[in-house]
Amino acid sequence: MQPVVAENLRHAYGEGPLRSEILHGISFSVNPGEITLLVGPSGSGKSTLLTLVGALRSVQEGSLQVLGSEVRRSSERSRVEIRRRIGFIFQSHNLVASLTSLQNVALVLQLSEPDPRRRLHRATALLEAVGLGHRLDYFPSELSGGQRQRVAIARALAPEPDLVLADEPTASLDSSSGQEVVALLGDLCRKRGSSVLLVTHDLRLLDDADRIWAIEDGRVEPWKGSH
Amino acid sequence: MIGRSLRRSLGDLPVAWLQLKRQPIRYLVAVTGIGFAALLMFMQLGFQSGLLTSATTFYQALITDLVVISPGTRDSGAFQQFPQSQLYQSLGVPGVSDVIPVYVANVNAQQMGGIKPTSLRLIGFDPNQQILDLAPVREQIDRIRTPGYVLFDAAGNSNTGPVAAAVKDQGSQTMILSDYSKTFRVVGLFRLGSTFAADSNLISSDTTALQLAYKQINEGEISMGLIRVTDPAAITSVQRHLRALYGSQLQVFTKPELIANEQNYWNTSSSFGIIFGFGTIMGLLVGGVIVYQVLYTDVSDHLHEYATLKALGFRNRFLLILVLQEASILAVSSFVPALVASAALYAFLTAVSGIQIVMTTDKTLLVFSLTIGVCAVAAAIALNKLRDADPASVF
């Protein structure tokens, strides 16, 4: 089963004369276990597409199947269920400032693991896997940008998602940290067979991808560029 | 059941506490503000209960079944006199065993050689009768048989100066009315407590009372009449007969009715009850506004984090409980220091004013409930802000 299948997906903001269509009939898919890159400049509709694939808003027109569930006409409740099967990585990591690295990861595990001890054990193992075993009790403000993004990766992988959505995960990192973070994400996802849809305009990441889509002016097509 | 449900909703991670703890200054300011509001409520309720206690202590101590007072008497601080002969009419009512006239008047007096006069409530009655359930009065009743001799209330406020201490250390003391017209001798002490109208109390024979309060009371005109019945089970029927006898000329109360009437006057008719009640509401509002401000700012500051949590699959209920937990933590952690500070202030004010302001379970539970309630209401209003946490805004 393909984790993401979009067919003729359209999305617009505003109404009446102020209506502005951002996505113009997009069709694309993400294959199981692959790392798929979606590249495009700012304002191309990347973020809107990501919010739709992430079941963060309802689909207006077209069809979007995420992890086997149709997002169009889905209820908020069913979209929450879809989201719980997705790992999210954000551009600015979006960690909870008042929680330590361990607590940030353990918090998400509350949704899937009822036993608090197992949650802590799993959160610790994940943070060790991303090389932060020595920073378990550090708050986000005490970590470097790269370390925060590693915590975010551990948090995204904590619920053992079938799909990971990553939005410009290298945007706030220097080039070496950025490549390290993406390589780490790729390794961990390949090991457990998770699919990754990574949105970026960082062309240095193209080597890490199994498939690349380009998005421009609200339209998606296979990447034809060279690097 | 509720606790388990809450734990299941939030897991074992005390996120609400961790969020509050992360910003200690804001937390401290919030706790101080809400604690001050709780203190304000405690003070108002303390003053109110102190007023009611002080106003009724005298009535509480009376040994009587029924009390007759003039319809013009609104409260125990200002008695209207009525003819003593009216009281004796009640002896004709079946079931009445005994009647005792009582004089109550306010006099200003000071220690001989003293400068500052103090206001005293003078209670005068026949020393052959015991009308007050106070052991020191019972034991020293013979001392007031001598005209001009009185017992002095040692539980009065600090305005009374060193009278009680001087009597205790050196024996009887002479006092003089503030118009220098008469002197009297304090020959013993008892404890009743001051009121809002008088700094302390004097107990004397009816003869002495008529001498000292000659400007306010006349022989044959009394302040209140105590009526005792032969059979305690017949109090109600005797009261009914007395009411029929007196009509609108006199009011006839049982002791509990007299106390309730007094409390009702101070609570509803006098400005005191209204002022203290208003003060309690003000404290409640101040607390509510502070909690609302703290929670609203907190939710606003964490809006992006809350939107992220929604994106990660947490439901609205998780965030609602989180904010309510923060409100509860603020309420509890503010209430405890407020309770301790209030108890200390009560003790201080009791010592200074002579009015018994006591921290009771009722007051503690009431202020705690109000604090929790106002925090919950403020949290409920602040929760509206949670709607702004749009998970789609995280990308």
Q: What is the mean pLDDT of residues A113-134?
A: 91
Residues of A in contact with B315 (CB under 8 A): 80
Chain A residue with CA closest to B18: the answer is A98
Map residue A96 onto helix, strand or coil. Answer: coil
Q: CA B186 to CA B161: how far, in whole Å?
A: 14
Specify the pLDDT at position A203.
76
Could you tell me the CA-to-CA distances from B258 to B249, B262, B270 in Å, in that order? 17, 6, 16
Separate counts of helices (H) and strands (E) for chain A: 6, 10
Q: CA A140 to CA A149: how far, in whole Å?
A: 10
B106-109, long-range: CB within 8 Å, 24+ apart, which pairs? B106/B77, B106/B78, B106/B197, B106/B198, B106/B213, B106/B216, B107/B177, B107/B202, B107/B212, B107/B213, B108/B177, B108/B178, B108/B179, B109/B175, B109/B176, B109/B177, B109/B178, B109/B184
Chain B residue with CA closest to A165: the answer is B395
Q: What angle do CA B102, B103, B106 make, to 5 degrees?
A: 145
Q: CA A108 to CA A158: how far, in whole Å?
A: 7
Q: Which residues of B touch A (CB under 8 A)?
A: 10-13, 15, 18-19, 21-22, 304-305, 308-309, 311-315, 391-392, 394-395
> How is residue B266 annotated by DSSP?
I
Residue among B18, B22, B311 whose CB faces A54 most closely: B311
SS3 content of chain B, % helix, strand, coil (to 5): 60, 20, 25
Q: Are B291 and B375 in contact (CB under 8 A)?
A: yes
Residues of B in contact with A153 (CB under 8 A): none
Q: What is the mean pLDDT of residues B167-195?
A: 91
| Maximal CA-CA distance, chain B | 95
Looking at chain A from residue 78 to 117, which residues have their Cβ under 8 Å from any Cβ of chain B? Answer: 80-81, 83-84, 88, 90-91, 94, 96-99, 103, 106-108, 110-111, 116
Residue B8 has pLDDT above 70, yes or no: no
Specify the pLDDT at position B111.
86
Angle between helices B24-61 and B316-353 (to 10 degrees): 50
Specify the pLDDT at position B7.
46
- What's the gap in Å between the CA of A117 and the closest CA on chain B? 10
Q: How confident is the model at residue B9 (pLDDT cuts 50, 70, 90)?
A: very low
What confidence tens digit (pLDDT) does each residue in B302-359 have? 888 999 999 999 998 888 898 889 889 988 999 999 999 999 999 999 888 778 889 9
What confidence tens digit (pLDDT) does each residue in B64-109 have? 999 999 999 988 888 999 999 999 999 999 999 999 999 999 999 9
Beta bridge partners of B371: none
- What's the gap in Å between the CA of A167 and the closest CA on chain B? 7
* Residues B304/B310/B315/B320 CA torsion (nearest 10 deg): 0
CATH topology of domain A4-222: Rossmann fold (3.40.50)
Separate counts of helices (H) and strands (E) for chain B: 13, 11
Contact B15 A98 (CB under 8 A): yes
Specify the pLDDT at position B11.
53
Q: How far apart are the first and last CA of chain A?
A: 31
What confidence tens digit (pLDDT) does each residue in A34-83 have? 999 999 888 888 889 999 999 999 899 999 999 999 999 889 899 999 99
Q: What is the mean pLDDT of residues B252-274?
A: 88
Q: Does A57 touch chain B (CB under 8 A)?
A: yes
Residue A13 has pLDDT above 70, yes or no: yes
Q: What is the ipTM of this complex?
A: 0.91
pTM of this structure: 0.75
Q: How far apart are the first and last CA of chain B?
A: 38
Contact A94 B315 (CB under 8 A): no
Specify the pLDDT at position B12.
66
Tokens linked to B326: 């923060």
Q: Are B96 and B282 in contact (CB under 8 A)?
A: no
Q: How confident is the model at residue A226 (pLDDT cuts 50, 70, 90)?
A: low
